[in-house]
């Protein structure tokens, strides 16, 4: 059943990176905002006369915690009407019309295979929610690999938190990689996400669930490479940005 449109109130805004912000949204009409980690909400922003041209969807970046507040992490897109409105017009106390939760980009009921979370940029949002959920509820699982690609170390959203979760979740590995980090920084991995999961698999084709979230080019390439490695559409789950 499709959720009704509701009003959310922005309770806090934090700068997460140079062009990325965290928006904390409370739903006053509900005591608890129920959703599954990995789902998204759709905002109806006053940026166009046609309603469907005002809609912008964003993955929820927080896990369900029994409150009526959730978090979105949003990057400012050059020329993007939706993100320009959110960055330039929305402040603490602003009301946002939204619908959700929606989507089926969620964890399997049984985490009986290794999980490969492959993402770029704000595509890390649903995986942060899933990892928080696994840690909070101590959900049994196999190995979990978060393979997170961005340009520079300063773009690595939630970096300290996602690294700290290695201490809380057995068999979880945080594997960021940076495509434009200066050579002088020898402490980080360079390159793109594809080399990392290919190295983990090493031609063995171990059973796994592959979750891909981020920009279309990355997802298209990852899906093609995984198919070549022998994985099928049943092994690969997608959430596309842009």
| Model confidence pLDDT, tens digit, residues 4-46 | 999 999 999 999 998 999 999 999 999 999 999 999 999 999 9
Co-location of 225 and 124 in the same domain = yes
Q: Residue 229: which H helix or E strand, with range?
A: none
Over range 145-162, report the average pLDDT.
88
As a whole number of Å, the CA-based R_g of the chain is 18
**pTM assigned to the model:** 0.95
Over range 68-74, report the average pLDDT.
98
Q: In total, how many domains does the chain have?
A: 2
Q: Are strands 69-75 and 20-26 parallel, antiparallel or unpaired?
A: antiparallel
Co-location of 38 and 74 in the same domain = yes
The CATH number of the domain holding residue 157 is 3.40.50.80
The answer to whether residue 108 sits within a structural domain is no
The CATH number of the domain holding residue 76 is 2.40.30.10
Residue 186: domain span: 114-241
**Cis bond before residue 46 (omega within 30° of 0):** no
Q: Are strands 236-241 and 55-59 parallel, antiparallel or unpaired?
A: unpaired
Q: Are strands 5-17 and 95-102 parallel, antiparallel or unpaired?
A: antiparallel
**Cis bond before residue 3 (omega within 30° of 0):** no
């Amino acid at each position: 059943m499709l959720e009704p449109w509701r009003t959310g109130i922005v309770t806090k805004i934090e700068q997460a990176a140079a062009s990325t912000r965290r928006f904390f949204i409370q739903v006053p009409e509900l005591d608890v905002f129920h959703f599954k980690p990995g789902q998204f909400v759709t905002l109806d922003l006053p940026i166009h006369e046609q309603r469907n041209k005002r809609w912008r969807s964003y993955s929820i970046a927080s896990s369900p915690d029994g409150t009526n507040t959730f978090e979105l992490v949003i990057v400012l897109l050059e020329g993007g009407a939706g993100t320009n409105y959110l960055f330039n017009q929305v402040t603490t106390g602003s009301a946002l019309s939204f619908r959700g939760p929606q989507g089926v980009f969620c964890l399997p009921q049984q985490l009986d295979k290794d999980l490969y979370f492959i993402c770029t940029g704000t595509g890390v949002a649903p995986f942060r929610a899933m990892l928080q959920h696994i840690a909070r509820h101590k959900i049994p699982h196999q190995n979990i690999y978060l393979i997170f690609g961005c340009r520079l170390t300063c773009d690595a959203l939630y970096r300290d938190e996602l690294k700290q979760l290695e201490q809380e979740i057995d068999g979880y590995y945080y594997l960021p990689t940076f495509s434009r980090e200066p050579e002088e920084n020898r402490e980080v991995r360079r390159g793109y996400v594809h080399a990392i999961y290919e190295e983990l698999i090493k031609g063995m084709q171990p059973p796994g669930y592959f979750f891909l979230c981020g920009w279309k080019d990355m997802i298209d390439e990852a899906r093609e490479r995984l198919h070549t490695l022998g994985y099928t559409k049943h092994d690969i789950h997608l959430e596309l940005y842009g």
